[in-house]
Structure formats: C-alpha cells, structure tokens
Structure 1
Amino acid sequence: MEFKIEHQWNSLPISHEPIIIKLTPGNAGILMEVSAPFFNDPPAPPGESGKSFNGLWDYEVVEAFFLNGQTEQYLEVELCPHGQHLVLLLSGKRKVCKQDLPLMFEVSRTSTKWNGKAHLPWSYFPPAFDKFNAFAIHGSGVNRIYEALYPAPQLEIQKEQKPDL
C-alpha cells in the first residue's frame, strides 16, 4: 500500500512535494519505506545515527501509528532523515508499555530528499490493529509544520486549536 501525505494537520494543503509512505507486508513483518523532502530543520538530533532516540518528535521526523481501536493499544514508529528512530508500544494515549524497541532502519539522503526503509516485526504490532495514520513534522519555532495523512476536518477544528503535540 502506498500513502501520500498532502495536507497539514488542519487539512490545509502542503506547499512541497508530498511525503510518500509505502507499507509492504511479509512473513516477518512490514517493510515501511519513506520518501520525503529533506528540510534539515531543525538540525540533526544529538543521538547516534542508527540508534533509538527518545524525544525524536522534536526533530524532523515521519511517524506512523498502527492502532487497535477497541483496546487502544498502538505501535508508534518514528523515522528521522538523520538515521535515528523511535519505536514505542502504547496502551491508551501516551501510556508507554514498551519503548526503544530495536529497529533495522536504513536511510539515504541528498541535500533535498531522503529515503528510509524500516523492517517492523509482527511481534511489535498490537493484536488485530485496525487503524492507521501517518504524520510528518519539520521546521523550527513558529515555522514548525505538522502534516497528516488523515488530517482533522476543517469544520471540526476549534478556534485557537493546535496540533496534538
């Protein structure tokens, strides 16, 4: 399956080439491939490339969420163009059960684009997950941009509402 992130969290269109996420199931798990513009904003996190990095959501990142809507267990996968990653299993909103799960993650980058491949073992996923969303985050300070595969509908957004950080 291939998905394109073409909107900000609030349904406004993005102003750059869309981020593409491809999911390919296999016997051992799911191959998640990312193809995205490289913004290099903010700069690279201080963690080592190829390693898990807590707080990765504060940097340039593409995230995928796999949710069991009944139990509210979900797998959160964060991939960074600088090679860091973060994989969490949660039960309920922001209630971490397992963190820093190891990940085979490869990244290649030019000055304008990055590509990543992550192998997600089936054992990481919540049983019977039935919902999926993906996000891309980049930029610093007031220029921070939050993009969503399935954004909040404009008519449902409250005045002064911000993305769910």
Structure 2
Amino acid sequence: MEFKIEHTWNSLPLSHDPIVIKLTPENSGILMEVSAPFFNDPPAPPGEAGKPFNGLWDYEVVEAFFLNGQTQQYLEVELCPHGQHLVLLLSGRRKVCKQELPLTFEVSRTSTNWIGKAHLPWSYFPPATDKFNAFAIHGSGVDRTYEALFPIPQLEIQKEQKPDFHRLEYFKRFNLKLLMGDAWKQPDSDLWALCKHNN
C-alpha cells in the first residue's frame, strides 16, 4: 500500500517531490516506510535518535494517523529524519491516553533525502481501524509548511483558519484487509483496553 503526499493542508500543490509512505505487512504488525526530501529545517530536535521526543511536531516530521471512525480512537505516529519518533494513542479528538510509546525506527539520510522504517505493532492500532491520513511538516517561521495526504478542500477553508491535523472528518476510508488478506482479523490490544478503561 503506497500513499503520496502531494498537497498542503489546504489543498495547494507542492513545489517539491512528494513524500511517499509505504505500508507492508509484518508478522507482528505493519512496516511503515517513509521516503522524503530532507529539508534540514528546522535543525534537529535536542533529543537522542531512536528515542521518543515529546513536541516532535515542532520539528521536521512525517506523521501517519490510523483511526477508528466510530469511536474516534486513533494512533498517531510521528517520524523525524534525525531519528527521533513519537507515538501517541488518542481516544477522542486530541485526547491523549498514551504517549511516548517505544518504537523500532531506523533512518538513513543523504544531504537531500531520507528514508525511515518504523515497525508498528498491532497493539498500537485502535480496534477496527478503518480510516487513515498522513501529514508532513517542515520549515521555520513564515516558511513553515504543513502538508496533508487528504487535505481540507479549498472551498471549505474558513478565513484565518490554521492547519489542524486532527480534523478527523477529512480522513479517508482505509481497509487493512487489502493489506493483510480477506481472512485476516485484527488482533486485540491490551493497550487500547487500558485506554478505554481510563476514559
């Protein structure tokens, strides 16, 4: 399964090569591969590569969101070209119930491009995942650029509206069985059972 981010959050075309996100089945989950231009702007976050970094959304980052459209439970995965990552489980829009979950994440980088590989275990996916969106952010100050796989249509943009990646109504249908096969059944997740319990 392959997705290309080709627009800004408000549906304008991009002036650089698209960021490509590829999802491949693994025994214990999904391999998410990111292939993206490397802007090196802003500079690297002050956290150790390979470790979770809270506030990663303020840096150069590619993000994938996996949503259950009924319950509004979703997995947010943020990957940085400098090796940091952030995994959040949210139960309701912007309502974080778990954060800084561990992730096996490897990055290779040149001066112009980077490739990231993150291994997402099934326990991180909300039950009955059925919607998806992906985003990318880079640049500093007035040049900060927010990009979306499924952007907000231009006709629906309000005056003074700011980018918001948690507009779940714009996520698109996503069927894991297309990736895993018709006979596949999503494994239960103890993590999400805990999230449910906390709400």
TM-score normalised to structure 2 length: 0.82
- What's the CA shift for 1:93? 1.2
- Structure 2 residues not aligned, in runs of 5+: 166-199
Report the AA paired with residue 97 of structure 2.
C
Aligned to 2:14: 14
- 1:152 and 2:152 correspond: yes
Report the AA paired with residue 62 of structure 1.
V
Aligned to 1:96: 96
TM-score normalised to structure 1 length: 0.98
Q: 1:106-158 CA deviation, whole Å, 9 max, x = no partner?
A: 00000000000000000111000100000000000111000000000011111
Q: 2: CA distance between counterparts of 1:137 and 1:87?
A: 16
Aligned to 1:45: 45
Q: Which runs of 4+ in 1 moved over 4 A?
A: none
Q: 2: CA distance between counterparts of 1:132 and 1:54?
A: 22
The structure whose residues are more often helix, as a share, is 2
- What's the CA shift for 1:64? 0.2
The structure whose residues are more often strand, as a share, is 1
Equivalences, count: 165
Report the AA paired with residue 134 of structure 1.
A
Q: 2: CA distance between counterparts of 1:136 and 1:95?
A: 21
Q: 1: CA distance between counterparts of 2:119 and 2:26?
A: 10
- What's the CA shift for 1:26? 2.3
Q: 2: CA distance between counterparts of 1:16 and 1:96?
A: 32
- What's the CA shift for 1:27? 2.1
Q: 1: CA distance between counterparts of 2:159 and 2:34?
A: 33
SS at 1:10 equivalent: coil
- Between the aligned residues of both structures, percent identity stands at 88
Q: 1: CA distance between counterparts of 2:164 and 2:133?
A: 13
Q: 2: CA distance between counterparts of 1:12 and 1:138?
A: 16
- 1:30 and 2:30 correspond: yes
Report the AA paired with residue 153 of structure 2.
P
Q: 1:11-42 CA deviation, whole Å, 9 max, x = no partner?
A: 00000000000011222000000000000000
Aligned to 2:121: 121
SS at 2:147 equivalent: strand
- Structure 1 residues not aligned, in runs of 5+: none
Aligned to 1:3: 3
Q: How big is the alpha-carbon RMSD for the aligned residues of Structure 1 and Structure 2?
A: 0.7
Report the AA paired with residue 77 of structure 1.
V
Aligned to 1:79: 79
